[in-house]
Amino acid sequence: MTDQAGAQDERLAEVLDAYVARLQAGQRPDREAVLRDHPELGSLLDCLEALERFAPPSGGMVHPSETVDLVPQGAGSPCDFGAYVLLEEIGRGGMGVVYKARQRGLDRIVAVKMILACHLASAEHVRRFQEEARAAAALRHPNIVHIHEVGQCHGHHYFAMEYIEGQNLAERAAGGALDAQTAARLVAKVACAVDHLHRQGYIHRDIKPSNILVDADGEPYVTDFGLAKVFLPGTEATATGAIVGTPSYMAPEQAAGQSAEVGPASDVYSLGAILYELLIGQPPFRQETPLDTLLAVLGGEPKPLRQIDRRVPQGLELIAMKCLARAPSQRYASAAALADDLERFLRHEELEARPPHLVQRVYRWFRREPALAARLATLFSFSTVEAVVYALGRVDSAFHRTVSILVVTWAVTALGLQQFLKRGRWPFVARYLWGTLDSALLLAVLLVADGAASSLVVGYPLLIVASSLWYRVRFVWFTSALSLVSYGVLVWDFYVRRPELQARCYSGFERHVVFVLALLAFAGVTAHLVDRLRSLSTYYGPKGQEGRW
C-alpha cells in the first residue's frame, strides 16, 4: 500500500514539474486536461499560477510571454512586442494594462492595450477584450479614441490605439472643482461622442472621469469600451442580475442589475454624475465602500449642487439633476439632447431642464434623508392622531401639552443630529446619540401615556427596523439593547409604579416575555440582513475603493 502511494506521489510530482516547466517557458499549459486526470492538484495549480504571475523576471530583457508587466510604470527599458516597442506602462484596470509604445513601420507613438496576466486569462476575459476592440474599432468620432490594429503577439491579445498626450479627467479634476464654463464644454463634447456611440448601437455602461482622456488643448476623448453592450434589436443582453460598471457613476437600473432596462439613458445618468463631480469635486454618491455606494444609488437622491456650493450656476444644477433623475424617462431623451442643453447654457439661452415642482422636491428630500424622514413622518402621524383624540375630549389638556412638548423636542433633536451627520461632524457620536435619544423620548411618551398597556409599544420594533437604515450591525444591536432596557422600565412601571394599569389589559407576565422575545427576533433578523450586506461590501471591495462591479 505504501509503495502504491509512493508511486502515485512520484507521478503527481512529474506532472507538476512538467506544468511548471511549461509556465516558465512562457507557454499555456492545458489546465483542464491536467485536472481531468488529477483533480487533487487543483489547489496546487492555483498556487503555482499565482506565484508564476507575480514572480519577478530573472534578468535581462523581459519577454512578453513571461509576464504582463513588460515594462514598469513610468519610465523603463523599452521592450520589443511584435511591430511595437513598448516604452512605459501608462494605465492599468481590472482586465487590461495599457502601454505607451512606438510603432516601428509608421514611426508613430500609440497606446497598446492587452489583457492582464494573459497566460491565466479565461475565455470570458478574452471574449470581453475582443468585444471591447470590436466596439471601439467600429466608432469614428473626433472625441472617441481611434483603434489602429487588433492582434495577438506571443500569446497576448492586444489592440493598438491612438495615443493621447495628456491626462484623464479624474486626474485633471483631482485638484478640485472646475469652473462652470470648462465643465459644461467638456461634458457637452463627451455627450456628443456618447451620442455617436449610441447611434452605432452601443451603450458604454462605464462612463466615468478616468475613462475620459483630456489632451494638452483640453479636448476630451472617450475610451475603455470593456463594458460596452450592443443594444440593437435581436442582440443578446447581459443576464438579469449582473451588476457591471462603477458604483459612483451607475444609473439606478444598472446598479439594480436590471439589464433589460439599461440603455442610452443609463449613459446619460453617468454623464450627469461626471458633470456633478466636475462642478463640486465629488460624485453624487461616494460612500465608505462600493456596496454602500451602490445602496445609496439604489435608494437615495443626490443632494442639489447649490446646497453644497452656491457658486454653481442654477442652470448647470438643473441640467445635472435632470440627468440624475431616478426614472430613465425623466432624464434627457438622448445624449445629444444633453449636449444641446449644455450648449444653450453656454450661450445663455433658455434651457430644456426645469426646476422640480413642490411634490418632486419633497419626494427627493425623503429619499435623501430616509432616517430623518421616517422619524418626522412617524412623529407627524402620531401628533395628528393625538390632536384628534384631544379634540374629541378623550385626553386632558395636561397630557396633550406634555406629549406635544415631547414630540417637538424629538423632531428638533432629530433635525439637529441630522445636520451633524450631513456635515461629517462626529458621525459616530451623533448616530449613537440619536439612537439613545429615540429610545429615551419614546420611553418618556409611554410613561406619560399608559406605559406597557399602551399600543405605542409598537414603537420599539419600529426603532429597531429604522436603525438598519445606517447599515451598521452594531448600531442595530445597540438600539435593540436600549429598547429592551426601556421596555424593562415599562414593566416595572406596569407592576410597581402604576399597578392600576393592569386593569386596562391582560396583566399576565408572559405577555411581556412574548413581547421581549419578539423584539429579540426583530433585532436578530434585522442585524442578520445588515450583516449580509456588510459581508457583500467586504467581498466586492475594501474601504474607500472605487471598484468596478
Instruction: Exactly one of 69, 206, 438, 450 is catalytic; name it.
Output: 206
271 Cβ neighbours under 8 A, 6+ residues apart: 187, 190, 191, 194, 207, 323, 335, 338
Per-residue DSSP letter, 493: I
- How far is Cα 326 from Cα 247, in angstroms, rounded to an integer? 15
Give the CA dihedral 425, 430, 432, 438, nearest 10 degrees.
Answer: -160
Cell 411618551 belongs to residue = 445
Q: How far apart are CA 156 and CA 113, in angstroms?
A: 10
Question: Is 318:353 a contact under the CB 8 Å cutoff?
Answer: yes
Nearest CA to 203 out of 146, 151, 131, 143 is that of: 131
Is 403 exposed, middle or buried, given 0-12, 13-18 or 19+ CB atoms closer than 10 A? buried
DSSP 8-state assignment for residue 144: B
Residues of 149-159 as b/e, b for ≥16 C-beta within 10 angstroms?
bbeebbebbbb
Q: Are 262 and 251 in contact (CB under 8 A)?
A: yes
Distance CA 23, CA 435 (A): 58
Yes or no: say if 101 and 83 are a contact pair by the CB < 8 Å rule.
Answer: no
Contact assessment for residue 375 and residue 410, using Cβ atoms and an 8 Å cutoff: yes
Q: Show Cβ contacts of residue 457 under 8 Å, excluding neighbours closer than 6 positions.
A: 446, 487, 490, 515
Catalytic residue list contains 309: no
From start to end of 108-227, where are the E strands?
A: 108-115, 147-153, 156-162, 166-168, 202-203, 212-215, 220-222
**What stretch of H or E contains 466?**
helix 459-467
Q: Tell me the three cell numbers of residue 348.
A: 445663455
Residues 6+ apart with CB under 8 A from 41: 12, 15, 16, 34, 35
- Count of CB atoms within 10 A of residue 314's CB? 14
- Number of helices followed by number of strands (H, E) in the chain: 19, 11
Quick check: 113 and 145 in contact, CB under 8 A?
A: no
Active site residues: 206
